[in-house]
Amino acid sequence: MTRSAPTPRAFPPALRRFLWTRLLGTTANQMLMVALAWQMYDLTGRAWDLGMVGLMQFVPALVCALPAGQLVDRVDRRYVLATSLLVQAAAALVLAWGSVHGWIGREVIFGMCVLLGVARALQMTSQQAIVPALVPAAGLPRAFAAASSLIKIAVVGGPVLGGFVYVLGPEAVYALCLVLLVAASATIASLAPIPPVKGQAAVSVASLFGGVSFIWRRKQVLGAISLDLFAVLLGGATALLPMYAKDVLATGPWGLGILRAAPAIGAMVVGISLARRPLARRVGRRMLAAVAIYGASIVVFGLSHDFGVSLVALAVSGGADMVSVVVRQTLVQIDTPDVMRGRVSAVNSVFIGASNELGEFRAGTVADVLGPIGATVAGGVGTLIVAVLWIRLFPALANRDRLVPPREAAPVR
């Protein structure tokens, strides 16, 4: 019997450059968020304005997501990603210039937040759709695992770096972000051209919502995306960590920082493992099991009054979530034809953004009624229920054996 050749362990040069782009770009994104929030609070001292900093970015990203998907399917995806990074670089330049000359204010920051939200829609959509053009189908699970691990590194390291640099003034943070974003843009632009797929239908309302229609028809894709949406919407506890640190675990700001880092650390460990040894069989059941483990770990965290137990529970939740993320991202890209990847990635990015933002809102409002422990435990139990329900609602997803069809499992020569 002839065996297919093993998947190569080394990433191709094009993917390595893309991974550098994601690391540099995401680090700059995280630093910008820290600097914007801190400077806004220095200027106004109002919690309302801090909330508006996030909202001013989320709404434009949501509104522009579908048009961004349409654009990604019709032009070279490298240029969309490079442009999104340069737009953020331009915002960083304005913020740095305004900070140096003293004319930065609340309205200017809000305006730059809107610009960053538009760039975010372009960035999230294009960087998801570009990966299948850089590696063969067999390499997608490893590629997405590596990319997700780098994001976690940036999410942990970016705010820390931004906080240290902010000591020199907000303009120092913005200047460093400008350098990183320009470097990221130049790196992605250096890749070989990725021409759009021919035969695109004319621009219309139907083509704009083509990604939504495609996902609705493909029940496995719909099941994977919606599973992640409801798991994070119900189980997310990030917004409540300050309450846990102070009122439940009786720790200080240092403890809060460690609690926030714990899920990312767990995700990095699992992501590196999946990059070395991708899931090969029974991926549907493993994804559902990972969501159940995520929900159970949130319940444990919610009930824990011990700092060590809470850290372990959060780290396990991050690791379980990474399994779900890698399976979902790979499944969506494998099952989507290249002509639709931009629009499907746009819908996927909307689901991701909505789950994070609405999840924090859900946690805060429920905690106002039930308290932080009640809200967290209820969310974890809800996630467990979703994992069980999805087995019945999406049996094809639960029974999915392989991410990559056997005929595509051998590397492209």
89 pLDDT exceeds 50? yes
| Digit-coded pLDDT (tens) for 95-154 | 999 998 888 888 898 899 899 989 988 888 888 888 888 888 777 888 888 888 888 788
84 pLDDT exceeds 80? yes
74 pLDDT exceeds 80? yes
Please tell me the least confidently modeled range out of 114-123, 154-163, 302-311, 352-361.
352-361
CB burial class (10 A; 0-12, 13-18, 19+) of residue 222? middle
d(CA 338, CA 129) in angstroms, rounded, equals: 8
Please tell me the least confidently modeled range out of 136-140, 189-193, 253-257, 361-365.
253-257
Residues 6+ apart with CB under 8 A from 350: 62, 65, 66
Q: Which two tokens stand for residue 31?
A: 């630093």
Of 352, 331, 342, nearest to 400 by C-alpha is 331
Contact 138, 404 (CB under 8 A): yes
**Mean pLDDT, the chain, whole residue set:** 81
Signed CA dihedral, 127, 173, 263, 369: sign only: negative
Confidence of residue 5 (pLDDT cuts 50, 70, 90): very low
For 175, what's the count of Cα atoms within 13 Å in the CB-facing half-sphere?
Answer: 11
d(CA 372, CA 357) in angstroms, rounded, equals: 18
Contact 291, 235 (CB under 8 A): no
Q: What is the pLDDT of residue 29?
A: 87
Q: What is the pLDDT of residue 413?
A: 30
Three-class DSSP category at 97: helix
Q: What's the rounded mean pLDDT across residues 224-230?
A: 83
Q: Which residue has 């906080």 as its token pair?
A: 163
410 pLDDT exceeds 50? no
d(CA 96, CA 383) in angstroms, rounded, equals: 43
Confidence of residue 77 (pLDDT cuts 50, 70, 90): confident
Q: What is the pLDDT of residue 8?
A: 47
| Digit-coded pLDDT (tens) for 384-402 | 999 999 988 888 888 888 7
Q: Which two tokens stand for residue 217?
A: 């028809």
| Digit-coded pLDDT (tens) for 251-294 | 776 677 677 778 888 888 888 888 778 777 788 888 899 999 99
CB burial class (10 A; 0-12, 13-18, 19+) of residue 195? exposed
Q: Which two tokens stand for residue 86?
A: 């340069």
pTM of the model: 0.75
Confidence of residue 204 (pLDDT cuts 50, 70, 90): low
Q: Which two tokens stand for residue 288?
A: 């559902």
Q: Which residue has 């239908």 as its token pair?
A: 201
d(CA 45, CA 43) in angstroms, rounded, equals: 6
Contact 230, 292 (CB under 8 A): no
Confidence of residue 175 (pLDDT cuts 50, 70, 90): very high
Confidence of residue 408 (pLDDT cuts 50, 70, 90): very low
Residues 6+ apart with CB under 8 A from 189: 78, 79, 82
Confidence of residue 357 (pLDDT cuts 50, 70, 90): low
Q: What's the rounded mean pLDDT across residues 82-97?
A: 94
Which is more confidently placed, 343 or 315? 315
For 275, what's the count of Cα atoms within 13 Å in the CB-facing half-sphere?
Answer: 17
Of 387, 204, 145, 376, nearest to 289 by C-alpha is 387
Alpha helices in 73-218 (DSSP H): 77-101, 106-129, 140-166, 170-189, 205-208, 210-217
Which is more confidently placed, 4 or 376? 376
Confidence of residue 30 (pLDDT cuts 50, 70, 90): confident
Of 70, 47, 44, nearest to 347 by C-alpha is 70
Confidence of residue 10 (pLDDT cuts 50, 70, 90): low
Q: What is the pLDDT of residue 406?
A: 52
